[in-house]
Structure 1
Amino acid sequence: MDILAIKKGLFNTKSPEIKESNPIIGLQGKGGLTYTQWGFQKAGELGGSLAGLQACLHIVYLDIKKKIIEDDSKQNELKQPHRIKIEHLKGENEKINGLISNDTSKLTHEENKIETLKEELSNIKKHPESVTSDPAVKASFIIGIVILVFLTVYLFIFYSSATYSAFFKEFALNNIGVASSIFDPNAIGRALTDGVAELALILTIPFVFLGLGYLINKFQEQKGFGKVMKVGMLILITFMFDSILAYGITEKIYNITKENSFENIPAYKLNMAFSDIHFWTIIFAGFIVYIIWGFVFDFVMDSYAKLDKVRVAMEHIKTKIADSKLECKKIKQEIQISKDTASANNSEIEKEKRIIDGIIVPISDIKLEIMNFQAGWLSFLQGIGFTTPTSIEIQESVTAFVRNADSDNRNS
């Protein structure tokens, strides 16, 4: 018995109801063959070749695809998840649009706030009196600084010269005048010649008076009767120190005059100093200027406080502007993220719509029936003991076909 007869015998034995005039394929339960039965049949007709298998696989694929396409109920079932996904994405976009609208309102509020703050900043620059109640505060501060510098230089020269004259200078007849006594241009040079201690004293003594003036200003910032006592004490100390300097200088002037006089002149006494015009000249040249320096220093510090108040107000507004700009940047980033998300959702919605408008062919259904067809094909080959092609070659061929069919189905 030849091979063809064996095949026909096996075919009739395994599936006696199959005839060549039967329909190629019919769904199970619809009066046709199952894919397993048809696989068995076609393997017998085509000798189990791989070329025949590939041809039959295409027929099976197209037949399954056709039935899925024509099954409206199946299509509705397959498209329902995509419709649900579209509704879900639309709902997300509604929420996102609400967030974008809310963030846009916040952004507008912050941008308006920045413009308002910039206007406030400009107004403070143009009208600092709105903060300080003094329209000329800057000019007053500059003028006060200039006066204070010159008064400080004057006091430094006065107290360094007066201290040197009172404690170290040896007077001669040609320099017994008040001016040469308290404004000695060579006081520092002579003190350096006399010794380091003398130089240190006349260089630092002016800062003692400046320090007293600074303390007076700080005590005036305090509240209560105690500040009056403290300020009064400091002024009294300064006056006494100036008096000592004035007394020392006028005594030296008096003594040098006495030593070079042929008359019997009495010794210099304290009551004589109070009636000596030179004594009061030195007092006024030092102490009164010192008092003026204190008032100017108070004025300068007050002007500085007002300017600082302006500066603080401007810095406060600049900080608010910077914070609002950071908030605007943050809001813009959030809006952009929301827009990107909405755009991605819209792209996904369009993709889902294209799927719904098209035909859905689930590869799992196709794969299942192809595996059934393969099972029938292998059943025939195993029944007659065929070794070529092997079951592995058939499996690889079917797997490659399913993979290509899946790729074509995704791209279609």
Structure 2
Amino acid sequence: MDTTSIKNLFKLKSVPIEKPKEETISKTETDPNGESLEESRKRTYHESGYRDSSRTSGNHSTLSICLDAVYSKFQNEEKEMVEKQQKLKESYVNEQKNRETEIKSLTVSQETKEDLLKSKNKEVENHQNTIETLKSEILDLPRNPEKYNVKATRGASAKFLIGVVLLIPITLYLGTFYISTSYSAFFKIFDAKSTVIQSVLDANAWEKARNDGFIEVAFVTLIPFVFLGLGFLIHMFGENKTKANYTKLGLLFIVTFIFDSILAYEIESKLYELNRTFDSVPFDLKIAFTKIQFWGIIFAGFIVYIIWGVVFDFVMKEHREKDKIKSEQEIRQKTVLSLTEKINTLKKEIEEILANIGNTKELIIKTRGRIEELQNIIDGVIIPTKDYKLYASEYVQGWVTFIGEKIAVSKTEKQTMIDDCISTYNTNLEAVGANSDNQNLVYLSSL
């Protein structure tokens, strides 16, 4: 079997060589004899394989040991190729620089986030202190309103309750009075059996009005609200002390007095007609003014109406004093709620910042680990396993060439020996990683 046939057979048995990704030394450099350095190196390995095979009669078991020695020789040769090592390590050096820049960027980012975290925590603490202060003010406001520049009288609640207690019976009185007098003035028919008191204050006025019809009962039921509304207007006009309001207030009193006078006049007129004789003159205002009962009806309604308006105004003012404190409390309570929402939002932001800081720290640790790995690679020796595969194949080709040329055995036995050698070769490639996807192996300096 000639050398060419052995090489072709070997190529069929080997795994295709992947094109190296890293830049290596120039393969076109020549030695003093004009042969390229690569060809010279391949020839050297080929000759070594042929020579070693001749010493061991092509034994495949010995080939395994020889290939280990070949790999060690190849490794030592690669160590001596300084320029080639620098080129192989160039990508790792660049990556290390990029990783170091990334570390600086991550460190700055972490410091910024930590400063932001301190700011957020301080903001939460300030809000919490403000909330505690506001809650204390809410409790203290009713006792010391002047302490918080609130112009409100202490004890307003007690005065307010007293006013309400007085206002309720006066309101019931006015309702009873005006129901009775309005019914007597407009709907009641007087007879000789009625006494004066029964004529003015009829205890059954509302029931009689209901029996008389819807209009009558509606009128006597609603008319007290007219006077209560007039009393409410006293309070409204009295809030803003202007000439216009004082004029309106005076007109209001006049209208109320006239209305009470009409009621008194109608009642007194009916009583006068009931007792009138043929000699009696017609009833008029002059006669009405001389009747004590006329003035009694007016003042029983008008004066009490004024009293109701004054008490109502007092109650409303006390309620306003009470509302000042309540309003200030509500303002503070709303502020507390707003600050509580801000605190909850800040706490969520703090959680996100803490998570980001944790992720950044983890990334920094990983990046530093990668920098250490890169430094170990840079300090170590890079073995281009694909190149080794090329030269190892030359060595094995020399080994097999000797078998083909010099071993005197049958063709079948010779082919078996060659197959065993190729199998040993492939096992060696697997052991050193030359058949993997990796382009290079790294031998660390510590090794």
Instruction: Tell whether the 8 Å contact from 2:160 to 2:319 is kept in structure 1 after alignment.
Output: yes
Residues 344, 241 of structure 1: alpha-carbon distance in 2 compared, 3 angstrom cutoff: same
Correspondence list, 1:199-278, <5 A: 199-258=217-276, 264-278=279-293
Three-state SS of the structure 2 residue aligned to 1:107 is: helix
Three-state SS of the structure 1 residue aligned to 2:287 is: helix
Three-state SS of the structure 1 residue aligned to 2:250 is: helix
- 1:128-181 CA-partner distances (Å, limit 9, x unpaired): 565343112112222222322222221111111101101111123443223x23
Residues 150, 404 of structure 1: alpha-carbon distance in 2 compared, 3 angstrom cutoff: farther
Unpaired segments of 5 or more residues in structure 2? 12-24, 32-36, 59-63, 402-418
- Give 1:116 shift: 1.8
- 1:214-234 CA-partner distances (Å, limit 9, x unpaired): 222222233421112111111
Instruction: Tell whether the 8 Å contact from 1:165 to 1:182 is kept in structure 2 after alignment.
Output: yes
Three-state SS of the structure 2 residue aligned to 1:79 is: helix
Among candidates 78, 81, 88, match of residue 105 of structure 2: 88
2:296 is matched with which residue? Answer: 281
- TM-score scaled to structure 1, two decimals? 0.72
Correspondence list, 1:50-65, <5 A: 63=75
Residues 37, 187 of structure 1: alpha-carbon distance in 2 compared, 3 angstrom cutoff: farther
Is the aligned partner of 1:7 residue 2:11? Answer: no
Three-state SS of the structure 2 residue aligned to 1:258 is: coil
- 1:227-284 CA-partner distances (Å, limit 9, x unpaired): 121111111011011011111112222332336xxx9544433222222121121112
Q: How many residues align?
A: 368
Cα separation, 1, equivalents of 2:243 and 2:231: 19
Cα separation, 1, equivalents of 2:439 and 2:202: 112
2:414 is matched with which residue? Answer: none
Among candidates 328, 336, 355, match of residue 340 of structure 1: 355
Instruction: Tell whether the 8 Å contact from 1:258 to 1:265 is kept in structure 2 after alignment.
Output: yes
Cα separation, 2, equivalents of 1:5 and 1:404: 30
2:206 is matched with which residue? Answer: 188
Three-state SS of the structure 2 residue aligned to 1:401 is: coil
Cα separation, 2, equivalents of 1:10 and 1:116: 91
Instruction: Tell whether the 8 Å contact from 1:247 to 1:273 is kept in structure 2 after alignment.
Output: yes
Q: Which amino acid aligns with 1:401?
A: S
- 1:51-109 CA-partner distances (Å, limit 9, x unpaired): x9xx99xx69x959x969x9799476653333332232222222222222222332222
Cα separation, 2, equivalents of 1:331 and 1:138: 40
Residues 346, 371 of structure 1: alpha-carbon distance in 2 compared, 3 angstrom cutoff: same
Cα separation, 2, equivalents of 1:37 and 1:157: 130
Residues 72, 273 of structure 1: alpha-carbon distance in 2 compared, 3 angstrom cutoff: same
- Structure number with greater Rg is 2
Q: Which amino acid aligns with 2:305?
A: Y
Residues 67, 85 of structure 1: alpha-carbon distance in 2 compared, 3 angstrom cutoff: farther
Percent identity, aligned pairs only, is 31
Cα separation, 1, equivalents of 2:439 and 2:234: 98
Q: Bigger shift: 79-88 or 166-175?
A: 79-88
Instruction: Tell whether the 8 Å contact from 2:389 to 2:434 is kept in structure 1 after alignment.
Output: no
1:292 is matched with which residue? Answer: 307
Cα separation, 2, equivalents of 1:301 and 1:234: 19
Q: Which amino acid aligns with 1:315?
A: E
Is the aligned partner of 1:169 residue 2:188? Answer: yes
Instruction: Tell whether the 8 Å contact from 1:219 to 1:230 is kept in structure 2 after alignment.
Output: yes
Instruction: Tell whether the 8 Å contact from 1:158 to 1:182 is kept in structure 2 after alignment.
Output: no
Residues 129, 98 of structure 1: alpha-carbon distance in 2 compared, 3 angstrom cutoff: closer
Instruction: Tell whether the 8 Å contact from 1:155 to 1:289 is kept in structure 2 after alignment.
Output: yes
Superposed CA RMSD:
4.7
Unpaired segments of 5 or more residues in structure 1? 12-25, 47-51
Three-state SS of the structure 2 residue aligned to 1:304 is: helix
Q: Which amino acid aligns with 1:270?
A: L
Among candidates 74, 86, 106, match of residue 123 of structure 2: 106
